[in-house]
């Protein structure tokens, strides 16, 4: 994986801007610690930081190849991602007369663009964000993978477009201020730590939406959706559906195990990570690659303080051991204590350029940092719950009828945290209602579907397009902040599109959440793991963490210089701090973010405002 950035400008000579593009590029060094490169021309400047995974010697970027039918004009590429069908594309391009100089997928992607132009995106299977400059036509083409696994932000203004894998690259441009307006604050306090698709939060900054491409030339900018979820009749029975799911998942995992550097899996002992690890072990056995390395995360004294509840019904540790023994992996347990977790909140903000999922982000950052010491690529089970319907809100009547995002039901609590002035400005309930209505209006309808089936299709669509991006963004930014590439097989677009149209009664085969996935894995996993109750990514249950973040937040409220003070109702927060219980299990976001994470999120907002010297334009 890598970090990319660039600058198109019709009113400046960018050959004189080497220093600026260097600064923009260097902000992305953690994403690409192995190599760097820049390319400048009159109207276009590109920067690239590289994490070497395939063909370390031959895959340098920016990469340049002649444009089709041209000896004098080039196409120049910067690319972040992995193409899992690169071998097939390479063979097809070779039959068309192309000759390759490297064995990396970067050259495959560039020559695919040379041959098929923007239409190349329809042929790609992978996770990617890339930009191509066509020198003869003086145009920029950018695209992002179908599910948005890899990030890509941009900022357009008169005669100029800036882009980068992360906001920090754009913010490094000397003409860009770190500014937030009312809509950006609404994203933080009303939608956050999720984001509305395409919204960059920073003023005048956007994120290229998943499955979209962008064309920018002297005539302006055009956006195009080259892929989106489609509704269709599902005509297979339970047995055939389970077989199809298994075949798709096995093929996806095998494609994503290709690497020239050490690879591992993240193992929680749950259904999703255990399945991916089992497929990896089988592939390694068949190809003679030895034993698979696995990693897990936990927290000091979690065994003493864990209490089961609806959102986290059981602890992971016994199940990790069960799967480790069953599969014979080389396991590496990682454990963190409260001071480490609280201390990493700031690092998580710097990785994301925004407040995020508090200690859920911080723990992942620490976990990835430890994994990176022993591996460069990891396989992770993100997205299975959104795709197969595993979350509690798929199965709770109150969430299904809520007429709002089901992972963010505490709208009154969130609104009460804001200062009266900001509350009046943002109108949080209205903002949330508008964003929810926008999402619901996008759902592709299936004629003749029952009201109950329409409701579950809507729930699936909301989770795939609104909640899943939050977790994918978290995984990308925390892992790439330490130079670790994480691959997510459940995000293969073939699998996502297929499962989206599986009727709910088949998805819940056996009257269980993710029932069809469980059925597809019969014989792959032992029955006790196969039918284990879903448990999310582990968080700390240590009351010392709650006390630590609560006390730190109260210190900020006592600091008259805190930039947080004008934005929040300090009396209300003090009231919550006095009344809250470290054992509170009612999330205000997702499954994991309850009382301690609320205080940690506000701490992240305070740090973010200070560190980035954020200017508010209200």
Catalytic residues: 2
What are the distances in angstroms from CA 161 to CA 47, 170, 215? 14, 10, 11
Task: Check if the beta carbon of residue 196 is closer than 8 Å to that of residue 435.
Answer: yes
In three-state form (DSSP H/G/I as H, E/B as E, the rest C), the secondary structure along 180-234 is: EEHHHHHHHHHHCCCCCCCECCCCCCEECCCCEEEEEECCEEEEEECCCCCCCCC
Question: What does 456-505 look like in DSSP terms, one character per residue?
Answer: HHHHHHHIIIIIHHHHHHHHHHHHHTTT-EEE-GGG-HHHHHHHHTS-HH
Helix 271-287 and helix 238-256, axial crossing angle in degrees, nearest 10: 60
Q: Furthest-apart CA pair in the chain: how many Å?
A: 72
Could you tell me if residue 180 is left (phi over 0), alpha (psi between -120 and 50 degrees) or otherwise beta?
Answer: beta
Which residues, other chains included, contact 112 with Cβ-Cβ below 8 Å and sequence gap of 6+?
A: 89, 93, 120, 123, 124
Residue 510 CB neighbour total at 10 angstroms: 12
Helix 468-480 and helix 345-352, axial crossing angle in degrees, nearest 10: 100
d(CA 44, CA 27): 19
Task: Check if the beta carbon of residue 573 is closer than 8 Å to that of residue 602.
Answer: yes
Q: What is residue 578's three-state secondary structure? A: helix
Task: Check if the beta carbon of residue 319 is closer than 8 Å to that of residue 326.
Answer: no
């Amino acid at each position: 994986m890598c970090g990319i950035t660039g600058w198109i400008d019709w009113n400046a000579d960018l050959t004189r801007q080497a220093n600026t593009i260097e600064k923009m590029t260097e902000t992305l060094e953690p994403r690409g610690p192995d190599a760097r490169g820049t390319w400048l021309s009159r109207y276009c400047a590109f920067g690239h930081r590289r994490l070497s995974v395939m063909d370390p010697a031959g895959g340098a970027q920016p990469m340049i190849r002649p444009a089709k039918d041209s000896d004098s004009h080039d196409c120049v590429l910067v690319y972040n991602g992995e193409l899992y069908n690169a071998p097939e594309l390479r063979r097809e391009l070779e039959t068309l007369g192309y000759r390759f100089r490297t064995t990396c997928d970067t050259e495959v992607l560039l020559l695919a663009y040379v041959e098929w132009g923007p239409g190349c995106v329809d042929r790609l299977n992978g996770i990617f964000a890339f930009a191509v400059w066509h020198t003869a036509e003086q145009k920029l083409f950018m695209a992002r993978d179908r599910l948005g696994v890899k990030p890509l932000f941009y900022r357009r203004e008169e005669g100029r477009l800036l882009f980068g894998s992360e906001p920090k690259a754009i913010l490094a441009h000397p003409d860009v201020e770190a500014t937030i307006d009312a809509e950006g604050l609404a994203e933080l306090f009303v939608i956050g730590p999720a984001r509305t698709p395409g919204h960059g939060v920073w003023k005048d900054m956007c994120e290229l939406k998943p499955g979209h491409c962008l064309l920018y030339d002297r005539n302006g900018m055009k956006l195009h959706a080259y892929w989106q979820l489609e509704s269709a009749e599902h005509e297979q029975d339970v047995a055939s559906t389970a077989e199809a799911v298994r075949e798709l998942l096995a093929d996806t995992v095998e494609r994503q195990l290709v690497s020239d550097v050490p690879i591992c899996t993240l193992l929680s002992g749950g259904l999703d990570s255990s399945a991916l690890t089992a497929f990896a072990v089988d592939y390694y056995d068949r190809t003679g690659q030895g034993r698979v390395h696995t990693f897990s995360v936990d927290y000091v004294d979690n065994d003493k303080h864990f209490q089961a509840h609806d959102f986290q019904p059981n602890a992971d540790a016994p199940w990790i051991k069960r799967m480790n023994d069953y599969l014979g992996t080389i396991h590496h347990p990682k454990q963190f204590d409260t001071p480490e977790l609280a201390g990493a909140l700031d690092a998580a903000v710097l990785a994301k350029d925004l407040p995020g999922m508090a200690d859920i982000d911080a723990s992942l950052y620490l976990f990835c940092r430890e994994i990176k010491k022993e591996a460069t690529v990891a396989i992770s089970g993100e997205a299975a719950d959104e795709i197969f319907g595993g979350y509690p809100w798929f199965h709770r009547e109150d969430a299904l009828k809520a007429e709002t995002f089901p992972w963010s039901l505490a709208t009154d609590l969130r609104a009460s945290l804001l200062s009266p002035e900001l509350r009046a400005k943002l109108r949080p309930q209205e903002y949330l209602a508008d964003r929810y209505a926008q999402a619901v209006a996008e759902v592709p309808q299936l004629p003749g579907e029952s009201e109950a089936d329409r409701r579950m299709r809507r729930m699936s669509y909301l989770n795939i397009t609104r909640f899943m991006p939050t977790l994918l963004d978290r995984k990308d930014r925390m892992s790439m902040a330490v130079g670790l590439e994480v691959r997510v097989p459940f995000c293969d677009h073939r699998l996502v599109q297929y499962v989206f149209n599986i009727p709910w009664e088949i998805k819940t085969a056996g009257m269980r959440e993710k029932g069809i996935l469980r059925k597809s894995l019969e014989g792959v996993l032992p029955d006790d793991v196969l039918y284990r109750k879903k448990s999310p990514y582990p968080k700390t249950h240590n009351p010392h963490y709650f006390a630590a973040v609560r006390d730190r937040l109260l210190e900020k409220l006592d600091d008259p210089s805190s930039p947080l003070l004008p934005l929040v109702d300090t009396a209300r927060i003090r009231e919550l701090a006095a009344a809250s219980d470290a054992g509170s299990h009612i999330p205000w976001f997702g499954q994991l973010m309850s009382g301690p994470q609320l205080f940690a999120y506000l701490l992240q907002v305070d740090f973010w405002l200070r560190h980035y010297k954020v200017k508010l334009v209200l």
